Amino acid sequence: MPKIYLNERDRLKDRISAWMYGQMKKKQITQQRLAKELCITQQAFSQKLKRCQFSIDEFMVIVNIMDPEADELMWLIGRGRV
């Protein structure tokens, strides 16, 4: 049964988290590396990832490291398909 979202924000948070987990695995980027780039602990990064609670600045650092294609970014924000 598909997951039902009460609002667009929750759907977007799930989409971003799933994308981040996938990119980390695909590109072999560790939580430790991303945490270091954000100047936080690995444990703090893990909690932020689980809840998808990144600031815009933090998210931009992560996106720059993961270097997604344009169509991935459009999919991520719900404006396209991958």
Ordered by start, the domain boundaries in the chain are 8-76
Per-residue pLDDT tens over the stretch 46-81: 999 999 999 999 999 999 999 888 888 787 767 655
Cα 20 to its chain centre, rounded Å, is 4
- 23 falls in which pLDDT band (50, 70, 90)? very high
Greater confidence, 82 or 73?
73
- Quote the pTM value: 0.79
Per-residue pLDDT tens over the stretch 63-72: 999 988 888 8
* Domain 8-76: top CATH class: mainly alpha
